Amino acid sequence: MLIPTIDLMDGKAVQLRQGMEKVLEREDVIELAKYYGRFGEVAVIDIDAAVGNGNNEKLIEKLCKVAPCRVGGGIRDANKAQKLLSWGAKKIIIGTAANEELLSKLPKEKVLIAIDSKDGYIATHGWTKTTSAEPLDFVKRFNNLCSGFLYTVIENEGMMQGADIDSIKLIRAATTKELIAAGGICSVDEIVKLQKMGVHTQLGMCIYTGVVKLEEAFVKCMDFEKRFGYIPTIVQDYATKQVLSLAYSTSQSLLQALKTGKGIYFNRSENKIFTKGETSGNTQELIEARFNCDRDAILFMVNQKGNACHLGRYSCFGNKDFSINELYKFLITRKSLLPDNALTTRLFQDEFYLKSKIMNEAFETVNFENKDGLGKEAADLTYFMLTFMAMHNITPQDVLNHLESTMRE
């Protein structure tokens, strides 16, 4: 996995040399996150919070809405960690504040432990102080309490003189959990080498300066030789999560897709690259691309316009499934149109009436007479609750994020 980094200071994306000297600064943080999100998860690090100089929480909440973010910096208690997860953070990164009591309150599959190494010892307080603990001590202590480790060699950070491969190998040998390396990475070849070691790469200075192009790095990480030049590409609807089709990518078609943000594939029967929807108008916007652990398959998550199948169906595997998300989209449309004489229009225009319907349906739900009755009353209650959520711009995913943030084994 390629993980672009957005380090935040005073609402701006910055790059620091060895965690101290600011050498780059960008203000287009939201657009940057959208672009970086095309390549998978984005690491958002709140440097201000890490050093105790305020925080960038309002901006981070927005970033979690536009890109899949793993968030770190200044997370010192369970309340803040759960708040970030409720905003939609895919994972949270906890450094020296990590302890058994804190981690016991969090879903471990959502937790990454930051191992910040300076001269071979764990650094704290925004990398301004060091301890007597060594990186392997953190691995041994927290290996069963997290989903993985982010290993940063501070003296290499921002220097672009190469990663510390030897120390990364030691960490890799000590755990089977996800391992992400950061600090000094300066070339596509180095990224590929780390990927082959089973190590993800968190990228900062090298992509901000243009030394490494994310599109080219993604393509180089793929094992095209194993598949005789063609990589199977699973295409999934970003909104519904349904699989739309199985396509194929070559290095050139993949590079074009990543650069343009379009569904571009290789047609094996016609032996040419094509853009989905170029004749039918049923285009695809590429939101996110990921490669699998063996680097021989790709997942494209797309916004599909119209039908994906050439037979006129929503998916090559069948019709669209009805879901809570589809119902919510219908309600959002009703909210914008407010058609005459529709119950939903009255609900949106009269919040007191909507609240009374929710309370009435809740009473009928808990006083159901039989299983079928419970299902019907629960359906009515769900409809009115979704309408209430749409009124206040709360999505089903927001609800799931809150539920997931408090789940533990």
The b/e string for 129-152 (b: 16+ C-beta within 10 A; e otherwise) is ebeebebeebbeebeebbebbbbb
Q: Which of 10, 28, 77, 116 is catalytic?
A: 116
Per-residue pLDDT tens digits for 128-143: 788 888 999 999 999 9
Q: Is the pLDDT of residue 170 over 80?
A: yes
Chosen domain end from 162, 189, 221: 221
CA dihedral 49, 53, 58, 63 (to 10 degrees): -50
Mean pLDDT of 157-182: 92
Say if residue 217 is in the same domain as residue 230. Answer: no
Q: Is 233 exposed, middle or buried (0-12, 13-18, 19+ CB in 10 A)?
A: buried
| Entry pTM | 0.88
CATH of the domain at 342: 1.10.287.1080
CATH number, domain at 37?
3.20.20.70
Of all residues in the chain, the percent with pLDDT exceeding 70 is: 99
Over range 333-341, report the average pLDDT: 95
Main-chain phi, psi angles of 288, to 5 degrees: -150, 140
Q: For 335-358, what is the mean pLDDT?
A: 96
* Average pLDDT for the chain: 93
Spell out a b/e string for 343-372, using b for 16 or more CB atoms within 10 Å of the CB, else e.
ebeebbeeeeebeebbeebbebbeeeeeee
pLDDT attached to residue 280: 92
223 is catalytic: no
What tens digit of pLDDT does each residue of 274-318 get? 999 999 999 999 999 999 999 999 999 999 999 999 999 999 999
Residue 137 backbone phi and psi in degrees, to 5:
-65, -40
Summarised one tens digit per residue, pLDDT across range 369-402 is: 888 889 999 999 999 999 999 999 999 999 999 8
Q: How far is CA 330 from CA 33, 240, 304, 322, 358, in A?
A: 28, 13, 17, 11, 19
- What confidence score (pLDDT) does residue 345 get? 96
Please write the tens of the pLDDT for every residue from 225-278: 887 899 999 999 998 899 999 999 999 999 999 999 999 999 999 999 999 999
The helix/strand/coil state of 254 is helix
Domain assignment present for residue 317? The answer is no
Residue 315 belongs to a domain: no
In this prediction, residue 130 carries a pLDDT of 81
Give Cα 379 distance to the centre of its chain.
31
**Residue 248: which CATH number?**
3.10.20.810
Looking at the DSSP bridge assignments, the partners of residue 202 are 3
pLDDT of 125 higher than 80? no
Between the two ends of the chain, the Cα-to-Cα distance in Å is 26
- Domain boundary, last residue among 167, 186, 221: 221
Can you give the residue range of the structural domain that contains 31? Answer: 2-221
Q: In this model, does residue 409 exceed pLDDT 70?
A: no
The encoded tokens of residue 356 equal 């009374």
Q: Which of the residues 7, 46, 164, 237 is marked catalytic?
A: 7
pLDDT band at 124 (very low <50, low <70, confident <90, very high): confident
Q: Is the same domain home to 47 and 148? A: yes
Q: Does residue 340 have an active-site annotation?
A: no
Q: Is the Cβ–Cβ distance between 290 and 297 less than 8 Å?
A: no
Domain count across the chain? 3
